[in-house]
Structures are given as structure tokens and as C-alpha cells.
A and B are shown apart, each in its own frame.
Chain A
């Protein structure tokens, strides 16, 4: 049986959900909009959490930052789950072929000992820094407010687990899958004086309570400095010393920094533009963590790259902060 349907009778009754229409007007909505805006519950919570009786389950007061509308934090990448995983799947496919190529062609044998030592000493221990970043972004996911920012924090958190695993694979490529390079890097992380400032900084970030402060500390301050020192400057140094193939293994991280940086910058800019009070608060947080991070990274940066390295990285950070409308 075929049923003839007149197209004129198939006019939609409405274009989108009521809360999306209220924000964006009566027109067909994007998948990002429908997946993001006003998804999180806002009121009439039944019970106070045993683990935080001073707040509701979803509560904007877990940070000192104040926003009239937490959905102002639009992700410029417009990532919801589906677009996020598909984008990362593309990146991992190209990373996978680089790692496979590196392995198959035994490129590790072409690295001189100086390069290998530096990779183990400086690059592999970063997996612990990435693991910290994973936890800090999960913190914002769990205690932040509004799906627009919390979903992006979750994507960031999972990305950092992925990066930690890629860094671990670099160690395994170097040690022939014995795990020795990972153990050595862990020893450095735990005991070597050059790394202790960084480890202390990571531990301090993990006990920080204000989630937006923590977002600035981790995703803006620490990530800018680490990205600059390790994925830019160290990368250039290793290339100059005959370790250019290492760049195949860190390309994912570089591309990732660019992608995520766009989102971080947008969040910082939006939060600062909201009010003077926010800007003052954020300036204080950024200064505090800039000071701590500079102190923590100083011995490492100097040993790894020389006296100027850290100030170059700090200049990069200052530029980014200024561009976001702070100071």
C-alpha cells in the first residue's frame, strides 16, 4: 500500500524546543544548540549532597566568578559529543599512523643517546602533568555550572588522558616496551630536584577548591607555559640535535593545543567581559598562578633549554592574557 502525502500537510508545528527558541528565535536549531543549552537542571533539588552540604547538587556558587548566564560560554568549536569524538578520531588516526611508522621503521635506532636521554628526562615525565590536567578538568566538569562549559571541560579532561597515554607510548617506543623508560621518568618525577617544583605545583592544583580558578591555573597558565616550553622550544631543540622524528610523536599535542586554545581563550574573554568584578578576580588568580608556575618551572626550563626559555614562555602567556582583555 502506498500512501500519498501532500507535502503541504507536512509543515512542522515548531522549529525547535521551547528553551532553544527562547534563546535563538523561532528557526531550526543546530545540533550544538540542542545538545548544549539549558540541558543541566537548575532548580528544585531534592537533597543536599552529603559531600558538600553547603551547596545544592548543581550550584553556581562553587566558584567566586559570577555570570548572569552560564551559557554565555559558547564553545567556538561547537563540540558536542558526536562532533568531539569524530574530530578526535581523525587526529588519532593520523597519530596512529605516525606511531606505527616510527615503530615499523625503527626510527628509535636513528636517535642519538643525547636525544633519547632528553626525551626520557623531559618529555616522558610530562605524562604525570597531563594526568593532573585530566583530574583538574574533571573537577570543573563535576562542580562547574552549565553544560556549555562543563562539557568542554570534560572533553579537555579526556583529551589529557589521551595525551598522557601518547606520552607513555613514547616511553615504550624508546624502551622496547619494557616499561623501563616509564619507570625512569617516574623516578625523575618523584625525586629529581629539577622536577620537584612542577610536582609540588601539580599537587597544589589538586587541592584547589574554586573550579574556575583551577580552570585558569591549569588550562590557561600551566598549559600555555608547558606547551611553549615542551612542545615548541624543546621540540625545536631536539630537531636541531637530530631528533626531528620525535616531532611525529608530538604532533597530536601541538594540534591539540591549537584546537583547545581557541576554546580556552573564548572562555577567558567571555568571563572577563562579563563584569569588572570578574576581571579583578581573574587578574588576581592569573597573577598568583603565573607566579607559582614560573617558580616551579624555572629550574627545569633553565636546565632543559637555557636561561631565556622561561621568560619567552611567560611573554607568550602575557600576550594571551592581554588579548583576552585582562590587564
Chain B
């Protein structure tokens, strides 16, 4: 199985998003680079709106992720409730 990943700008909102990702995907690895946080997982990862909202304590729409997103790897599926990344092999 290959790794999917996403990288976020290292800022306050991202810290809550990372927390939400860690909660929903216990297997992820979080790597801190200069000005950037990279999150990797084997095969699949999901960012859930509900969890991010819970962490932030406010409404949050999935496209808001793009404000802090630097890059990603994997097939993307985005809808109202989540953004998921996956490899099929």
C-alpha cells in the first residue's frame, strides 16, 4: 500500500485540522517542517467536517481546507462532509 499525504501551512487553524485528522485517522504520521505540517498515512486518509467543527468550535466548510492546504497526494474525493485521499493499489 502506498502513502497518501497532505501538507498544511503551519498556522493556528491548521493545528485544529491536524488534531481532527489525527482523531479520525489514528494511523497517521505528522511531520513538522519549516512553516509546514505534513500528514501521511498508508493508503487512505479522511478530513471530516464534523470533527474539524468540533475542534474549532465553529462552522467549517470542507473547501475552507484549501485556504491552508499546500499539497496533497492520492485520489481526491470531496463532498459536503469530508475530503478523502486514497490510492487504489
Direct contact of A and B (CB under 8 A): no
**Interface, chain B (partner A; CB < 8 A):** none
